[in-house]
Chains A and B, each alone.
Chain A
Amino acid sequence: MNRTHQEIQEELTLWALGIAPDAPLPGLAEHLANCGECRRLVREVYETTGLLASAVKPVPPPEGLKEKILGRLGTEGQEVQQAGRSSTSVDRIHSLPREPGPRGPLPASHKTKRGQTEAVRRTPWTWLWGAAAAIFVFGLLWGNISLNRKVQRQEEEITAWVERYEADFRWLRSAEYLLVQESEPAFSALLAAPAEIPGIAPVGDPGSGAPTGKATIYTAYDDRFYLIVWVSGLLPGATYEVWAESAGAASRIASFAVDERGSGSVASPSEGQVAWTRVEVRGIDETVVLRGELRPGGLGPRGW
């Protein structure tokens, strides 16, 4: 990071104020985790902004508002569920279609199209060519429009959750995973001696060039959870997948491309509490697997 300490503190001030910064998140998060002075700063700014609210002109809350709020508590569970399903970008990003399996059943829409094709064969050739041309042109136009819409929607969703995350960053807990190559002999030793791991610095031996990394779960002040993974020492340009295990079942969280320096990162949000107990970074060809277990002791939730 080529920024001065003062610049970092200015950006952390923006975070503590809840307004989105434009700085790379991993760098600042790492700095914050390792710099006591900046942690104090964030805390002081946070507390000061809490007091600053007292400067505003007092306005009494409307009558009946308290009863209205208390009246909503009973239905709150249902509302949360509905909000979780429809609201945010998060679930919609997770619900985006994944790559179809090679032997998976055809989606219903494909079957329908196939059925339509059978019917078309029984029509005269003129109708057939006309219909085919119309479908082709319509398909091109519609495909283009819907692709643009989809890309735009995804961009908006990603921007929205990144902004949300950055705003929430001022208040978080974290739990961590060490990610080391599966064959790394030091892995079990590291797990056995958590006290030897300084802060949340990357584990393993960065000088050796062996793939290493870490994963962190951040939780903001409500039910949003974020799994963030940083790795280094991987094959530049290669694609990797992040898998996480929860309640005994592993699922693919995201994929990412390694940059030219052999590093990569991914941030994945989730609505609702998720207890990931194991995180893996898998190469597509399975040449490198980084694996980390939740550390209940030395790398548990961290205070500022």
Chain B
Amino acid sequence: MVAALMMHPLPYHDTKPVGAADFYFAINATFRFIREKLGSDALSAYWQDLGREYMAPVSHLWKVGGLPAVAEYWRAFFDAEPGAKVTVTMEKDRVLLDIQTCPAIRHLRAGGRTIDPGFCQHCYCVSEAAAEKAGFAVRVKGGNGQCQQTFSPRDQAFGPQIMENIEKAL
């Protein structure tokens, strides 16, 4: 069992193949609660801590396995997210995620939920914090249901992340 878990591209492993989509409601509600109770800066700090601490095993996989491990992780990740339509492309010096249907935004809309306006920023903040520990950077463009994310070595990143390039979720 332990060996099987260690070989899986997702460090946290479940017995069922895909997650329960209603949990996107809780993720969205968590962001709103922290923003309202502790403020936007605290929400950014929460996302960064999540990326550095909870996702530390992911960072480790990426650090050890390099860009192929980054690509493998995201393929397995989106395979386990219900309703996701995502193309993961491995290039020589980067991994591209083309998210045609974000499973979270899709389910939140289908459920008639008010989406936290900064919802899409969590992708950048969490992934950047996790990637930094592995020597990578991520840049995000788009959002609100469709976006492009590029993972590359930090010394080859395409300039700083422009937060205005991440759309407000509606």
A binds B: no
> Which residues on B are within 8 Å of A, measured CB to CB?
none
